[in-house]
Amino acid sequence: MTATESTYRGRARIAEPGEGIGLDELALATRNHGMPLEALRYDVTPPGLHYVLVHYDIPATEAATWELEITGAVERPLRLSLADLTARPSVTSRVLLECAGNGRARYEPRPVSQPWLLEAVGTAEWTGTPLAPLLEEAGVSPRAVDVVFTGADHGVERGVEQDYARGLPLAEAMRPETLLVHAMNGAPLPPQHGAPLRLVVPGWYGMAQVKWLRRIEVLDRPFDGFQNATAYRLKADADDGGVPVTRIRPRALLAPPGWPDFMTRERFVHAGPVPLTGRAWSGRAPLTSVEVSTDGGATWAAAELAPADPAHPFAWRAWRFEWTARPGSAELVVRAADAEGGQPVEQEWNRQGMANNLVQRVPVTVLP
Amino acid sequence: MTATESTYRGRARIAEPGEGIGLDELALATRNHGMPLEALRYDVTPPGLHYVLVHYDIPATEAATWELEITGAVERPLRLSLADLTARPSVTSRVLLECAGNGRARYEPRPVSQPWLLEAVGTAEWTGTPLAPLLEEAGVSPRAVDVVFTGADHGVERGVEQDYARGLPLAEAMRPETLLVHAMNGAPLPPQHGAPLRLVVPGWYGMAQVKWLRRIEVLDRPFDGFQNATAYRLKADADDGGVPVTRIRPRALLAPPGWPDFMTRERFVHAGPVPLTGRAWSGRAPLTSVEVSTDGGATWAAAELAPADPAHPFAWRAWRFEWTARPGSAELVVRAADAEGGQPVEQEWNRQGMANNLVQRVPVTVLP
């Protein structure tokens, strides 16, 4: 059964000014989780520290009986077991992923949804087989436009009952880097990361990285399903059709220095040399710089950005800045730029809180 | 340096009536995470789904150079490398862990701290060496009272700068089940679960399970450190010294049936037979029953509780109940009882939101 809006309630809502986080947002925050920012220290994020967003429930899946269907506007539909897929040529790729909703919880006003602060990121080693040769074997129609990836997770979103499904332009599906993935960091995919099979499309926000993948359908028209037509769009207001969320915008994050207060997560350091380190990335264009401000954005200085590693073109890059901390209060700010532009220092609001790459601000108390 | 309350702000606070979750509470919720309740399906929780609570930052640790010190009121202090510890007799134990703050976010009024709903649980296979023979080798003083376990995580809590440290009564430290653990589910400990070494004390709430363990000190007096004397206590009000939080109270949890709404996590099922499943546990006494109500607690019926497994005395136990769902609204409630009593159906408030085992309530819409 697919129920309609008359069966289900559900709508997008903007929080009132000053409205605290609700129990519904908290229920998402306690299920899903970000990457604690001290984990920026790891080149490859351990699976349990990598961010997780599950739209509905983590489905119960069985690797032994799993089947992937490739169908739609193809000459020869395919059904493949996991053994069929793991027997094919294998690629391991280090890929930064980020949720399109990262940063949403600090928006003013706040779109009510998964309330990410800044931690919805991670970089893993994904092992799988390239999708393009499979689509070529299936014989994609010359009229093909989009490829729809459907997962096994089932739920309701803003009144629409659905299996999670995302359309991807054919050209992106045919990129050699687009993988059907069965392993993460050298081990079988954990349940929350899509076991036994998921899609990885380097450079795109997380909504494209369909987990628990069981169906690939080639369409000769644009996909108009919920996650493309309604959810993941940059909209000014409720009546705006918006534009699709696609590739990851540039961002730099700082591993907060010193030690934290448990409750406020406020940071403390001692005066003197304090090395600042973190990671930066962009999914749309090569990074060109990372800059640091230690005075809340009044002045900026270049950080040392590690060179791009040809072995890992889709990973994040380390950066470093030597700060001489003087007693008192400081506000650290970092910003990355790529060939298309830099991170905004002032909020650029959109109705669903998507693709927000506002700079990170880290207040620090410097003790004598 | 250890700073004092004059350096640091910080206090325990109770939320005002109707006050939403603050950004400080949210910052904890997006770092730490619960176990999504559909993961009750796994006998052993995968590491990335097991709940995580980190008081301060996950410390950067090196297994190769790690040393554990056993000191204090002992005849022969010891220094042990990880290789020393892994060369000793090894035990693997399946143990349920639960955070003492589980359920705090639904308290009215709400203590402002890590805002758990119900998900701060998990069961893992912990591999390590029993602590008691090591303490015997060190020669514990006949005047010994408490054993203090100190981790490498450093921060500030309510004005007190500290390495996380917990005292445990000597008799608990000497239990044969108390382990110095280096592996979880057959793999080296992940960073967030205490790599390279942690304590596991079966039956106790999570605060006793010290992670990133580097020092064990035997005391001939009760430990009066922050985490024992101030933090983990059942207090009626701010002036109450309170009583220590120790063993896990009984609880049953239901894997919410059917499918969810993304935003509200509200559940939907179809009318007809709906098997209800979940887990139950107690750390203080043998479980005696699990009961289910499908009418919000007006009437109760016994669930089928799996027999205690002698191989896994500290694991959770599965339970099952066959529900015949009729169209309309239902509120599912589950409660466990052990030989010392059952879960409360009405809130039993304490100031820090500790050891709260109020029953879980799951509203369900039953579609025709």
pLDDT tens-digit series, residues A74-93: 999 999 999 999 999 999 99
* Chain B residue with Cα closest to A328: B7
What confidence tier does A6 reach under pLDDT thresholds 50, 70, 90? low
* Each residue's pLDDT tens digit, A297-350: 999 999 999 999 999 999 999 999 999 999 999 999 999 999 999 999 999 999
B30, amino acid identity: T
ipTM of the complex: 0.95
CATH topology assigned to domain A23-244: Sulfite Oxidase; Chain A, domain 2 (3.90.420)
Fold matches, A23-244 and A251-367: no
pLDDT of residue B2: 45
pLDDT of residue A275: 98
Please state, for a pLDDT cut of 70, what percent of chain A lies above it.
98
Contacts of B26 in chain A (CB under 8 A): 21, 26, 29, 105, 115, 117
Contacts of A30 in chain B (CB under 8 A): 29, 33-34, 105, 115-117, 119
Average pLDDT, chain A: 96
Contacts of A268 in chain B (CB under 8 A): 3, 8, 156
Which of A22, A24, A48 lies at the smallest CB-CB distance from B190?
A: A48
Which of B36, B41, B263 lies at the smallest CB-CB distance from A24?
A: B263
Q: How far is B137 from chain A (nearest CA, A)?
A: 36
Contacts of B158 in chain A (CB under 8 A): 262-263
> For the purposes of burial, counting CB atoms within 10 Å of the CB of A146, is it exposed (0-12), middle (13-18) or buried (19 or more)?
buried
* Each residue's pLDDT tens digit, A49-62: 999 999 999 999 99
Contacts of B31 in chain A (CB under 8 A): 33-34, 36, 119, 265
* Each residue's pLDDT tens digit, B52-79: 999 999 999 999 999 999 999 999 999 9
Please give the backbone phi and psi of residue B316, each rounded to the nearest 5 degrees, phi first.
Answer: -75, 170
Q: Is the pTM of this model over 0.80?
A: yes
pLDDT of residue A2: 46
Q: How many CB pairs under 8 A join A and B?
A: 203
Q: How far is B366 from chain A (nearest CA, A)?
A: 11
pLDDT of residue A12: 83
**Contact at CB, A20 and B24, closer than 8 angstroms:** no
Q: How far is B36 from chain A (nearest CA, A)?
A: 5
Is the CATH number 3.40.109.10 carried by domain B251-367?
no
The domain spans of chain A are: 23-244, 251-367
Give the contacts of B317 (CB within 8 A, at least 6 positions apart).
B279, B280, B281, B287, B305, B306, B307, B308, B309
Chain B interface, best mutation among A30, A163, A367, by max B CB count within 10 A: A30
